[in-house]
């Protein structure tokens, strides 16, 4: 006799980028985020996993970066390998960017640190399991720029889209729209970070390089597609009026600890020289600000 019992649905995660999709009986045919030219489908083809499987093989590590800021990253690395940040201000806690793994140990640790009042994410490559995080901490809002609405793979009422150039979260925290890597790209400024000198959380844009004295700008990092000069100049002009001395990048240990504004200016100049073909040799051999 045929088994007509319906298959249980699961919210599948793309193994390459870590994005969780809406629940379905079978894995989706493809991950739209990885099929885009800014990302890629793995060399072995599209692969899927579930949060349950991820919890069995991975764990999260918390790092105190400075008073009021913990980074959270997954070991062994999963998806793109980014880190999330829990930012603790006197009046609210913000989760910046997101990682796929959320488990009981992580929830308990975050609750010990005061929980989460809101979530904000730089761009679609880090949406991961943002809905799971929101639900785990009382259905807190997830702030994403309206221009990236189409990239949300698991729609949910907790996702709040905002429009415009700046969105104030409160207590010295604000989102700034800096389109480039994605149309709705956003960075987060905490005025109280870096001992009141200001900390900028920028995800991939600008990207903190392996040499943390430099930053870079790309439309696609894995496919080596640069951003054009007009876009880079606009990003720099948007960030220039802000007060910050520190930049937290997407990946563990990728932090510009001091003189971030000067490093931003010098890095943009070096980048623009390199893509123009003028002074490329000088740009390639320069190792210090």
- Give the model's pLDDT for residue 2: 46
pLDDT band of residue 241 (cuts 50, 70, 90) is very high
The C-alpha atoms of residue 73 and residue 70 are separated, in whole angstroms, by 10
- For 65-72, what is the mean pLDDT? 98
Residues 80 and 18: beta-carbon distance below 8 Å: yes
Output 51-60 pairs: Cβ under 8 A, ≥24 positions apart.
51/11, 51/13, 51/20, 51/100, 51/101, 51/102, 51/129, 51/132, 54/13, 54/78, 54/100, 54/101, 55/101, 55/103, 58/101, 59/101, 59/103, 59/105, 60/99, 60/101, 60/103, 60/105, 60/106
- For 179-204, what is the mean pLDDT? 98
Residues 116 and 137: beta-carbon distance below 8 Å: yes
Nearest to 75 by CA among 54, 55, 63, 59: 59
pLDDT band of residue 284 (cuts 50, 70, 90) is low
Q: Token pair of 114, please? A: 């005061």
The C-alpha atoms of residue 94 and residue 14 are separated, in whole angstroms, by 25
- CATH number 3.30.43.10 given to 52-285: no
Q: Which residue has the higher pLDDT, 282 or 183?
A: 183
- Give the model's pLDDT for residue 287: 52
The model's pLDDT over 121-177, given as tens digits with 9 standing for 90+, comes to 999 999 999 999 999 999 999 999 999 999 999 999 999 999 999 999 999 999 999
SS3 21: coil
- Give the model's pLDDT for residue 1: 44
Helices (H), 102-152: 104-112, 130-136
Q: Where are the domains of the chain?
A: 52-285
Residue 212 has pLDDT above 90, yes or no: yes
Q: Which residues contact 157 (CB under 8 A, 6 or more apart)?
A: none
Residues 244 and 197: beta-carbon distance below 8 Å: yes
- Give the model's pLDDT for residue 142: 98
């Amino acid at each position: 006799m045929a088994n007509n019992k319906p298959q249980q649905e699961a919210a599948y995660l793309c193994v390459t980028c870590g994005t969780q999709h809406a629940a379905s009986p079978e894995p989706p045919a493809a991950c739209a985020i990885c099929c885009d030219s800014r990302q890629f489908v793995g060399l072995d083809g599209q692969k899927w996993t579930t949060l349950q499987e991820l919890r069995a093989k991975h764990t999260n590590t918390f790092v105190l970066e400075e008073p009021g800021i913990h980074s959270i990253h997954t070991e062994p690395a999963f998806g793109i390998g980014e880190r999330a940040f829990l930012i603790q201000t006197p009046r609210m806690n913000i989760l910046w960017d997101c990682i796929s793994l959320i488990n009981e140990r992580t929830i308990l640790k975050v609750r010990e640190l005061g929980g989460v009042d809101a979530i904000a994410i730089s761009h679609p490559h880090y949406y991961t399991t943002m809905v799971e995080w929101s639900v785990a901490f009382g259905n807190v809002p997830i702030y994403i720029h309206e221009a990236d609405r189409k990239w949300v793979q698991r729609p949910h009422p907790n996702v709040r889209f905002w429009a415009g150039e700046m969105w104030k979260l409160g207590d010295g925290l604000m989102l700034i729209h800096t389109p480039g890597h994605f149309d709705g790209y956003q960075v987060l400024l905490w005025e109280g970070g870096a001992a009141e000198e200001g900390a900028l959380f920028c995800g991939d844009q600008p990207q903190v390089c392996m040499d943390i004295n430099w930053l870079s700008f790309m439309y696609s990092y894995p496919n080596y597609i640069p951003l054009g000069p007009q876009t880079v100049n606009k990003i720099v002009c948007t960030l220039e009026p802000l007060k910050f001395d520190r930049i937290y990048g997407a990946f563990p240990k990728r932090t510009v600890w001091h003189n971030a504004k000067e490093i931003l200016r010098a890095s943009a100049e070096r980048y623009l020289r390199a893509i123009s073909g003028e002074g490329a040799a000088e740009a390639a051999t320069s190792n210090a600000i």
